[in-house]
Structure 1
Amino acid sequence: MIYCGIDWAERTHDVALVDDTGKLLAKRHITDDAVGYKMLLDLLAEYGETEETPIPVAIETSRGLLVAVLRTGKRQVFAINPLAAARYRDRHSVSRKKSDPGDALVLANILRTDMHAHRTLPQDTDLARAVAVLARAQQDTIWNRQQIANQLRSLLREYYPSALAAFEPWKNGLCRPEAHEVLELAPTPTRAARLTRAQLQAALKRAGRKRGIETEAERLRAVFRAEWAHQPPLVEDALGKQMLALLLQLVAASKAGDDLAEAVEEAFPQHPDAEIITSFPGLGIQLGARVLAEIGDDRSRFADARGLKAYAGSSPVTRASGKKSSITRRWVKNDRLNHAGYLWAFSAITASPGAKAHYRRRRDEHSDWHAAAQRNLFNRMIGQLYHCLQHRMLFEEDTAFSAQLAVAA
């Protein structure tokens, strides 16, 4: 048996091959391009790799073109956590020396000694991986948009509090197109106080508002013309230019988020698991796509529901030593899936009578805090999702929460 370890870098990669005894058979330094990839495949073929007997490969990343090339065929690819690889490195050297060829050798030896303790990359379908790309990108864009909106809000508090007061009644406030049009038209409070009804109405129409334009324009005009504190004129103009720069970023992030959301709505329903996932209360297309992106569609990825629950961070972890033991929440988990689970459980409480009864029981009988009760609900529902996906079944309220519904009745 031969094992391959690859120390990944941006421009070049180091490759090491070892046998069952740990003897170094070959090492190469390849470039991150088609020529380097061919050199790697030729090296594997030189040492006996065939289509039926591929050589397992360990690498410290799960993304990129190199990983895509390695995942062709039946080859097992192991994405080793860099922190775990560092711990293995300390087993072989007390001096804590480090080198790229040495790291490739460490990765190869990880497979030689502990391949059974590591998990291969899931064999998800191309459609599931495409949904994962779109869903994660849309989630990143939403987070980025909120971060920019928070920066813009903080800046407006310094010199333009009338804008915050004007946009406060609107849902999503600074992220709305109406707010963008008004701020672009009047980047400073002095200019906002001089806006006419016609200008405000035109801005609201450009933003796409159809109803209540005259009433809203009158309200904005009254807010902007009220008495507010002002920065010195030169400072106010400078802050207005800074605000416009942030506004451009916010508009771009908002458009990118909308475009990616449309792409998710187009791709996710095409997946065979979409109907099962969206049958659960609280899971729509966007949130369901995020769940699919993290769990994938490789049914052999998780041995049982407990593995999926631990991966999502919904199940507790027990630490015991001697007579002492403690049960706490998990800190090592898939953060994206855990975040999606928080939103899922929050929505399910109002969408499902059984979920609401389960949540109330955790709060009343077990004295859980809100977050703990919600995490427990997520833990139960993701176990149900695992069962439904394995058996190709849709969610049924009476079956999932029969006891809770009886108690609630």
Structure 2
Amino acid sequence: MKAYNVNDFAALIGIDWADTKHDICQHPNHTEKYQYSIIKSKPEALHEWAMSLKQRYPNQQIAVACELKKGPLIYALAKYNHLTLFTINPSSVANYRKAFTPSNAKDDPSDAFIQVEILTLHMHKLVVIEPESAAIRSLTQLVEYRRNVVQDSVDLSNKITAALKNYYPQVLEWFKEKDTFVFCDFILKWPSLDHAKTARKQTLLDFFTTHNSHYAQVNDARITSIKSAMALTEDIGVIEPNKLLVEVLVAQFKVLLKGIVSLDKVIKEAYKTQPDKVIFDSLPGAGQQLAPRLLVAFGSNRDRYNDASELQKYAGIAPVIERSGKKTWTHWRYSCPTFLRQTFVEWAGFSIRYSFWAKAYYEQQKSKGKPHNSIIRSLAFKWIRIVYRCWKTSKPYDESKYLEALKRRGSPLLKFAINS
């Protein structure tokens, strides 16, 4: 990752963004001047402002700081080659402001000024927003949107389950997996136990067949349970409101499930065109969902990180060590891209099932009394170093080669795996 300093730029600019307008603090280099202005958030206004900077500082770079890593403002400014975008954590600006305004007074221009000061004093510590290719940016958003939609479906599923328990708990036993169309369509067709009991056996069998539920034993057990089930309550004051709520929620749930299917198809098509696909397909336990997420986590720019530790820190996987006097303690890295950290942690958890050494490491740490979450984070830390090497050399991961390397080093991990 290229290191920048103040002298690389003709001017330093801080932007305090808002929905309708942006407050600007502009500091031409080698001057004592700070110029303040306000521009509207409309695309036309942003373009006019960006081009005015190009005319004022021809053939020169301008450093722009903002408390964003993505969003409309970043998307609008990223296309201008004469602007270098730096991201500053909002908490850094807030803490800087508190240090010099104990009254906690806040006004927008001062935040823009603070960003310029941070640029001036700490530019080498800031992250530069370096846009990936359009294909990688698109895939990045797709996998993140999918994760959000899946979480929405989980939340909705929990609401449906809670409402069904109030009047129709049997259906939760008939369908163990809730994120299925057969579950949704069954409830929409037979929204209460009374409705289900009136259905003929052949009607139920036809329904299951239509939804590709062909296990005769499972279907027979369902039908038997439907016919013999006893209502939890016959109070229409309980049944009717909950039935209506469930019908509304299930209709939404079904839309989300269809959306996930659509996203999966688009992600699959976008992922298979990536040259680095072979690397991330080789990772144990990555699978259809996590392999694309891991690919965009690394990106395609091999110069983005100087070493694995930069990615470990950026992703929030590397722990933070603090010292005060004779005391030393380690804690979770609070400020990081949450989705990126989730990606590595989730994959590390899955890798235990598919990687010999990952499972051995997990069991080794568990025998030492380490908690599950700490072991998974530590495992993710190790995996990033391994995958970084594969990514830099453009070579797929090979478990047998890694085990051979552990053997050559006389790693105690292999001894633990053999003894266990």
How far did 1:376 drift? 2.0
Instruction: Decide which of 198, 206, 219 is 1:194's aligned counterpart.
Output: 198
Matched, 1:13 2:22: yes
> Structure 1 residues 26-35 or 378-387, which shifts more?
26-35
Matched, 1:100 2:111: no
Asked if the contact 1:291/1:340 (under 8 Å) is kept, the reply is yes
Asked if the contact 1:279/1:395 (under 8 Å) is kept, the reply is yes
1:290 aligns with 293
2:148 aligns with 140
Matched, 1:29 2:38: yes
1:353 aligns with 356
User: Matched residues in 2 for 1:122 and 1:288: separation?
Assistant: 22
Equivalence map 1:157-168=2 (5 Å): 157-168=165-176
User: Matched residues in 2 for 1:314 and 1:6: separation?
Assistant: 29
- In the superposition, relative to structure 1, how do residues 341 and 25 fare at CA in structure 2: closer, same or farther (>3 Å)? closer
1:176 aligns with 180
Q: How big is the alpha-carbon RMSD for the aligned residues of Structure 1 and Structure 2?
A: 2.2
Secondary structure in 2 matching 1:368: coil
- In the superposition, relative to structure 1, how do residues 69 and 178 fare at CA in structure 2: closer, same or farther (>3 Å)? closer
Identity of aligned residues (%): 25
User: Matched residues in 1 for 2:29 and 2:288: separation?
Assistant: 48
Asked if the contact 2:167/2:231 (under 8 Å) is kept, the reply is no
2:235 aligns with 232
Q: Give the letter for the 2:206 counterpart.
A: A
Asked if the contact 2:27/2:35 (under 8 Å) is kept, the reply is yes
- In the superposition, relative to structure 1, how do residues 232 and 394 fare at CA in structure 2: closer, same or farther (>3 Å)? same
1:183-219 deviation per Cα after TM superposition (whole angstroms, max 9, x unaligned): 011111221222211221232233233x23x544432
- In the superposition, relative to structure 1, how do residues 336 and 69 fare at CA in structure 2: closer, same or farther (>3 Å)? closer
1:93-145 deviation per Cα after TM superposition (whole angstroms, max 9, x unaligned): 34432222232222222212221121111332221111101100111111111
Matched pairs, number: 400
Secondary structure in 2 matching 1:6: strand
Q: Give the letter for the 2:289 counterpart.
A: Q
Matched, 1:68 2:75: yes
Asked if the contact 2:43/2:76 (under 8 Å) is kept, the reply is no
Matched, 1:334 2:337: yes
1:277 aligns with 280
TM-score (norm 2): 0.88
1:331-372 deviation per Cα after TM superposition (whole angstroms, max 9, x unaligned): 4333223322233222222212222222222223x3323322
2:410 aligns with none
Q: Give the letter for the 1:373 counterpart.
A: I
1:217-249 deviation per Cα after TM superposition (whole angstroms, max 9, x unaligned): 432232223223214124312211110000011
1:223 aligns with 225
Q: Give the letter for the 2:125 counterpart.
A: A
Asked if the contact 1:318/1:325 (under 8 Å) is kept, the reply is yes
TM-score (norm 1): 0.90
1:385 aligns with 387
User: Matched residues in 2 for 1:312 and 1:35: separation?
Assistant: 35
1:44 aligns with 53
User: Matched residues in 2 for 1:141 and 1:303: separation?
Assistant: 34
Equivalence map 1:77-92=2 (5 Å): 77-92=85-100
User: Matched residues in 1 for 2:128 and 2:106: separation?
Assistant: 25
User: Matched residues in 2 for 1:15 and 1:384: separation?
Assistant: 43
User: Matched residues in 2 for 1:30 and 1:21: separation?
Assistant: 25
1:299-330 deviation per Cα after TM superposition (whole angstroms, max 9, x unaligned): 33333211222233333332222221123443
How far did 1:6 drift? 1.3
Asked if the contact 1:7/1:101 (under 8 Å) is kept, the reply is yes
Structure 2, unaligned runs of 5 or more? 1-9, 407-412
Instruction: Decide which of 208, 212, 217 is 2:212's aligned counterpart.
Output: 208
- In the superposition, relative to structure 1, how do residues 22 and 179 fare at CA in structure 2: closer, same or farther (>3 Å)? farther
Secondary structure in 2 matching 1:401: helix
User: Matched residues in 2 for 1:264 and 1:235: separation?
Assistant: 43
